[in-house]
């Protein structure tokens, strides 16, 4: 298999361990755009911190999956290794281990937790969750979409 310029043999993939990816901004940490991506600026989101701690305690591999460490040329002003260290320091500060930080998904990734992700059914692309796609398709603002999601969730809970 080829990933960018790196070739990984099937035997290497079998030796790896499955992992769960957790987005950093707005999934694990609140985000204030005025601070910029080079600074770790948010507060931890307790529900995700709890999930990560439970997964790690159960022996699962968890990685922080974020564009903040992207080597993209438009982000050449920042050093991904320094950003990775800031994120790991932040994790440690809030009671989590110094998890691997990546911007690369591979075949061992079993789930991604991300505020921007839209879940679709395998092999059909049937929409499974309400998410940013509704915002894009409806033209509504985030608050309107959030209110619709809350009403839909309340309706399901009442059944």
Could you report the per-residue pLDDT of 31-77, keeping only the tens digit for each? 877 666 556 678 999 999 999 999 999 999 999 999 888 887 766 66
**The pTM is what?**
0.71
H or E element, residue 37:
none
Q: Residue 27 sits in a domain of what CATH number?
A: 3.40.50.1000
C-beta separation of 119 from 112 below 8 A: no
- Do 105 and 133 lie in one domain? The reply is no
- State the number of CA atoms in the 13 A half-sphere of 31 facing the CB: 14
Q: Looking at the structure, do residues 130 and 73 belong to the same domain, yes or no? A: no
Q: Are residues 124 and 149 in the same domain?
A: yes
CA 25 to chain centre: 8
- pLDDT per residue as tens digits for the range 97-152: 999 999 999 999 999 999 888 777 888 887 776 555 555 555 566 567 667 777 77
- Give the β-pairing of 61-65 and 19-23: parallel
User: What domain range is 129 assigned to?
Assistant: 118-159
């Amino acid at each position: 298999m080829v990933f960018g310029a790196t070739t990984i043999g099937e035997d290497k993939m079998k030796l790896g361990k499955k992992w769960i990816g957790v987005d950093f901004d707005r999934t694990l940490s609140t985000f204030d755009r005025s601070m910029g991506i080079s600074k770790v600026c948010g507060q931890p989101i307790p529900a995700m911190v709890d999930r990560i701690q439970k997964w790690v305690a159960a022996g699962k591999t968890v990685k922080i999956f974020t564009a903040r460490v992207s080597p993209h040329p438009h982000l050449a002003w920042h050093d991904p290794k320094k950003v990775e260290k800031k994120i790991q320091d932040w994790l440690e500060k809030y009671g989590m281990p110094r998890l691997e930080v990546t911007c690369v998904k591979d075949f061992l990734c079993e789930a991604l937790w991300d505020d921007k992700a839209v879940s679709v059914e395998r092999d059909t692309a049937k929409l499974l969750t309400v998410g940013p796609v509704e915002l894009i398709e409806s033209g509504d603002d985030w608050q309107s979409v959030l209110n619709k999601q809350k009403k839909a969730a309340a309706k399901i809970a009442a059944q």
